[in-house]
Amino acid sequence: MKNLVTTDWLKNNIERVRILDASWHMPNSKRNALNEFLDSHIENANFFDLDETSDQNSLLPHMLPCKNTWETIVSKFGIKNSDHIVIYDNSDVISSCRVWYNFLYFNHNPNYVSVLDGGLKKWLKENKKTTKYNKIFSKSYYSAKENLAFVLNKNQINVNIQNKTFELIDARSAERFQGLQPELRRELKSGNIEGSKNLPFLDLINKTDNTFKNEKELKSIFEKLNLDTSKNMAFTCGSGVTACILGLANSIISGKTPVIYDGSWSEYGLK
């Protein structure tokens, strides 16, 4: 899988790929991702709204839509099954990884869906070109297939507490995982899923430019969790976004496709 591409690679291939800005911000951030996109974005990029492209019939945030809905959404962007898609963000929670995961779940070729390492932050730091012009593409006829093994539900999480067939890793901060910090959503209790381990997603990211740490560093960080390497891994977080950062990091190390608990703590932590 070509999980990550560099800013230089994107600059040199900008006319050969489809680019999506998947910026999403926490509700308390007081930032508007769409307005920021309209003000400045990478050339040829389209804005991919994580909220609007999720399941609109679910009370939980960011849940995967059904296959037909995903086909309709992606077709409106004019994206074809053969396109190499590069996803970036300008978000503190590196939301591009969630859209990367969504495309994998709906069976886009894993060699042709990538995250821009460092995102817009690194792109701007290098004084690379941005624009306000929003390029429109002709509608396509995108075909999807659901890879059901890539997603977990609450019942599967509960069964795993008893039989421990996979390691569950939580991407939230240590304070939230340990229940020392209240959740932003008032309907949620504090704490974690029994038997899960904590790996805050920020531990995987270089603070200077928002890039992922190198493969050797990532492997070392995972090893410090004392994971049972004979078991598969699955990832959870607050609402299914930052879990995908862990999923991408693991795919860099192992080549495995990420498995995500879609409901995450937004479902499991309901009072």
* Model pLDDT for residues 135-170, shown as the tens digit of each residue: 999 999 999 999 999 999 999 999 999 999 999 999
pLDDT beyond 70 at 70: yes
User: Which whole number is the average pLDDT over 186-195?
Assistant: 95
Residues of the chain with CATH 3.40.250.10: 4-131, 148-268
* pLDDT classification of 1: cutoffs 50, 70, 90: low
DSSP secondary structure of 183-202: -SSTTB-SS--TT-EE--GG
Distance CA 155, CA 266 (A): 15
Average pLDDT over residues 48-77: 97
Q: Which CATH architecture describes the domain 148-268?
A: 3-Layer(aba) Sandwich (3.40)
Mean pLDDT, range 167-181, rounded to an integer: 97
User: Within a 10 A sphere around the Cβ of 151, how many other Cβ atoms?
Assistant: 20
Domain 4-131, CATH: 3.40.250.10
Q: What is the pLDDT of residue 228?
A: 83
Strands 45-47 and 85-88 turn out to be unpaired
Catalytic amino acids?
A: 237
CA torsion 108-150-204-32 (nearest 10°) is 70
**Length of the chain, please?**
271
| Residue at token pair 């381990």 | 197
Does this model's pTM top 0.85? My answer is yes
Average pLDDT over residues 2-20: 96
Compute the distance between CA of residue 176 and CA of residue 83 in angstroms, rounded to an integer. 39
| CB 29, CB 49: distance < 8 Å | no
Strands 85-88 and 113-116: parallel
Give per-residue pLDDT as tens, 208-255.
999 999 999 999 999 999 988 778 999 999 999 999 999 999 999 999
Q: What is the mean pLDDT of residues 20-36?
A: 94
Structure tokens at 196: 């899960």
Assigned token pair, 116 = 């821009």
Q: Are 168 and 198 in contact (CB under 8 A)?
A: no
Lowest mean pLDDT among 2-11, 14-23, 136-145, 227-236: 227-236
Predicted confidence at residue 2, as pLDDT, reads: 77
